Structure 1
Amino acid sequence: MASYRVTLTIGRLARGVAPDAVLPRAAEAAAAEVTVEARDVAVVRGEARLVVRFTADADRQAARVADLVATATTALAEVQRVALTRRDGGTWTRLPYA
């Protein structure tokens, strides 16, 4: 199994959504299909970013998980960008994601 990360750049929250509700929901969406290794939120260059790291059998499954995470997050907040990366040795390789 490989390790993957889905990174979402987040904009405005939906009305009535608490900021601390978004990351747990994103991780829960991934955990419905795979093992979640870690989750984190950061502010990078003034943008909120959620990161959910997980294991998957293949890139195709990882892309499906990224879709689940993005869909779940979209219900709570504006998702501006989604990036999917795979751990290859000591580096994270960006995967095509549409």
Structure 2
Amino acid sequence: MPSYRITLGVGALRAGTDPQTVLPAAAAAARELTVVEAWDLAVVRGEPRITVRFTADDDEGATHVGRHTNAVVETLADVLAPQLTRRWGARWYPVR
């Protein structure tokens, strides 16, 4: 089964959102629909980014998981530059 990842830049938090809840909420959202392989938080050029890696049968299914995850995170914070990628060998390629 192919591996995918959704990467979301995190902007301003919604009122009352604890910053420590955003990444677990993203992973839980994806887990509602598929198997989550890993999740991570990184700061890239001063911007926090969360990544959730998961499996899906195909690009269509992965797109559904990515959109759902994005929608859940948008209830907690502004989402910047969401990107869905698929792993081929050792590289990640954008899903179109």
TM-score normalized by structure 1? 0.96
SS at match of 1:17: coil
Runs of 4+ aligned structure 1 residues displaced above 6 Å come to none
Distance in 2 of aligned mates of 1:57 and 1:17: 33
Report how many aligned residue pairs link the two structures: 96
Percent identity of equivalent pairs: 48
Give 1:43 shift. 0.4
User: Which runs of 5 or more residues in structure 2 are unaligned?
Assistant: none
Per the normalisation by structure 2, the TM-score is: 0.98
Partners of 1:43 and 1:94 in 2: CA distance: 21
Instruction: Give the residue type in structure 2 aligned to 1:64.
Output: H
Q: Tell me the alpha carbon deviations over residues 3-37 of structure 1, each in whole angstroms, 9 at most, x when there is no partner.
A: 00000011000111111000011011100110000
Answer yes or no: is 1:39 the counterpart of 2:39: yes
Which one-letter code corresponds to 1:43 in the other structure?
V
Mapped partners of 1:80, 1:36: distance in 2: 22
Unaligned segments of structure 1, at least 5 residues = none
Q: What is aligned with 1:23?
A: 23
Question: Secondary structure of 2:93's match?
Answer: strand
Superposed counterparts of 1:1-80, under 5 Å: 1-80=1-80
